[in-house]
Structure 1
Amino acid sequence: MLRSLTRTKSISHSSLYSCYLPLIPRQYKSTTTNTVPFDNEPFPFSRFEPCCPEGEASENGFIPCSEHPIPKVIGKKIEMHEELKKTRTGRHLVACVGPEAPDWSRSKVETVKGGMILGINSAQNTWMRSQKERRPPPEGELLTTVIGRPSPNTEWPNSDILLFPEFRRYPGVHPDKLLDSKITPLLDALWKDPMCSKLPHIENEEILNDIDTVVLVCTHTMRDKRCGVLGPLLVDEFRKVLSEQGLLKGQEKGRVEVWGVSHFGGHKFAGNMIIHQKGLGGHMYGNVRQCHVTSIVDRHIINKKVIKELWRGAVTPPSIEK
């Protein structure tokens, strides 16, 4: 079933699709566990394990770290024993609203009046009601979030849209004009099938040739304090480690960006993050703390290996278009 995911259940499409004729489903083309290049070497840390343990473990297993302190009240609320909830989506649509946008002031970005996610959801509902052709629900899901990346040369509510795994940028999109704009053919294709193998060319689209990795860490404080506290700590640590290795965008050879992202599910598994990398696709991790960042940079970003111990699933495959 298609869901334009903000990891909410505000849109139920089952009723809209209930009259469609069943067809033989085609093979889902997303990344499977059989094709993920997991690291053969064990990760040096277990889930949410500190590098410099200090003090006794809390009832949930949380142990403070002398090198990377975390408020105990937050650490005690982290789930680190249940199986990490796995996710599988097809493409990831990201609105670059900047760090001060009104989207961050609400627990659900899809309820922000004038916001991009509300605009996308509303436009999709209108689009679905207008479809006369009877077709089965498309396979795969379209994950939609906002991130703290600014959109140059425009102001909120306009924002740039990024699409993964293609690493494409669509500048200056207005949330109230999604069904009558340059980006309309793209949305039409994604709503019909998030895994479509041939996307339409959009007049002003750009390929992000100057970056090859985007790290997105959930920092959505208004949705959940666990990610709201841990997320910014992880963003700072990733930027610090990447900068020390000359990998951060803005440095001479830097091709990695790090941004805060809105809720995408599983706050109890904080810290939560997604890494999009050209040739590797998008992968979601949970139970990450600052102690793990250096190893994640080395194993995932530099050596392109997925860390199974922290893996929450594939967000996008390495490529879709043919």
Structure 2
Amino acid sequence: MLRTTTTRLLGKPGILRCYSTHSVPFDEKPFPFSRFEPCCPDAEAKQAKNGYIPCKSHPFPNVLGRKIDMTDPMTRPAGVRHLVGCIGADAMEWTRAKVEAIPGIMQSLITTENQWLKDHRPQVPSDKSVLATVAERPTTSHRPDVMLFPEFKLFQGVSSTNGIIDSGSPLYSALKSIWQNPYNSLPPQKEWQDIKALGPLIVDEFNRVIKEKGLQDKVEVWGTSHFGGHKFAGNLIIHQRGLGGHIYGNVRQCHVAAIVDRHVLHGKVIQEIWRGQVTPPSI
């Protein structure tokens, strides 16, 4: 599965602001590609049963291309928050398909939440509303960092004991508030820092386009763990102030330049490959 996380950080931090799918700022100009369509189709290659056609300009493993679903609906329930554990590219979690299966920040988040849920009843069902992933973004210390969206906040060096996040930490305080009700505002903590900038084939292409457009100081691109929908690879999450977090699917290298131009630079959501809202806008 190809997965990427990319974000552009602009504007000021603030409160959650939700909107329905009817008010998402979709780009009125049609996207130049259909789902998983190549920019330069290889006329000599036979089309796969699922409709996959290789691209002359952007090589893609045929064994993966033949598994992609290009017809089923990609949209998913809207989310409220996204927790991202920054573990670095050398972390053991990054070598596993299920990062929660081995000790690490993802397992700690899940275990700590389950422990809290045994003794508390949340005000709002949290199923599907809070997405948790890990990213290859380097850590600032020997312990993982955690980013929270849509607030664009970073907590450095998350501490845990026996796989449980320390209850006295500012992160635990914020997590309790989220578990109680995902729409709660984060409790003020001086330890929270504003994120100054924020995801193998698609990541490289995003980095190339970002550099080409001179956006290196405004955008970071990192690979992330799975967040559902392997059959819709490549998957992409973009977090942007004032626009919220959005998931795209069936993304190929061919699409990257247009995505950067329309979504990152002009703040327009591309409906043709949109999978849904993962976090609402913050203002």
Please report the TM-score for the alignment, with normalisation by the length of structure 2. 0.88
1:282 equivalent in alignment to 2:245? yes
CA displacement at 1:126 relative to structure 2: 1.4
Residue 7 of structure 1 aligns with which residue? none
Distance 1:64 1:75 in 2: 8
| Structure 1, gaps ≥5 residues long | 1-27, 217-231, 249-253
SS at match of 2:88: coil
SS at match of 2:170: coil
Q: Number of residues paired by the alignment? A: 263
SS at match of 1:88: coil
Residue 8 of structure 2 aligns with which residue? none
Distance 1:255 1:235 in 2: 16
Residue 7 of structure 2 aligns with which residue? none
Distance 2:31 2:115 in 1: 46
Match of 1:47 among 7, 17, 35: 35
Residue 172 of structure 1 aligns with which residue? 157
| Contact 1:139 1:194 (C-alpha < 8 Å) held by counterparts | no
Distance 1:245 1:279 in 2: 21
| Contact 2:234 2:252 (C-alpha < 8 Å) held by counterparts | yes
Distance 1:83 1:38 in 2: 17
Task: Give matches, 1:69-218, under 5 Å.
Answer: 69-113=59-103, 115-131=104-120, 135=123, 137=125, 141-152=129-140, 154-155=141-142, 158-176=143-161, 177-196=165-184, 198-208=185-195, 210-211=196-197, 214=198, 216=199
Q: Which runs of 4+ in 1 moved over 6 A?
A: none
Larger RCO (CA under 8 A, 6+ residues apart): 2
Distance 1:29 1:205 in 2: 20
Structure 1 residues 171, 59: closer, same or farther in 2, change over 3 A?
A: same
SS at match of 1:64: coil
Match of 2:205 among 237, 243, 264: 237
| Contact 1:31 1:316 (C-alpha < 8 Å) held by counterparts | no
Task: State the Cα deviation string for residues 86-143 of structure 1 (Å, max 9, x = none).
Answer: 2321100111001110112222111212x01111111111112222x68563586111
Give the letter aligned to residue 89 of structure 1.
Answer: G
Structure 1 residues 139, 147: closer, same or farther in 2, change over 3 A?
A: closer
Task: State the Cα deviation string for residues 233-256 of structure 1 (Å, max 9, x = none).
Answer: 0000000001011012xxxxx200
SS at match of 1:119: helix
Structure 1 residues 204, 291: closer, same or farther in 2, change over 3 A?
A: same
Distance 2:240 2:94 in 1: 25
Structure 1 residues 62, 142: closer, same or farther in 2, change over 3 A?
A: same
| Contact 2:75 2:274 (C-alpha < 8 Å) held by counterparts | no
Give the letter aligned to residue 237 of structure 1.
Answer: E
Residue 9 of structure 2 aligns with which residue? none
Please report the TM-score for the alignment, with normalisation by the length of structure 1. 0.78
Distance 2:49 2:74 in 1: 19
| Contact 1:30 1:89 (C-alpha < 8 Å) held by counterparts | no
Distance 2:75 2:26 in 1: 17
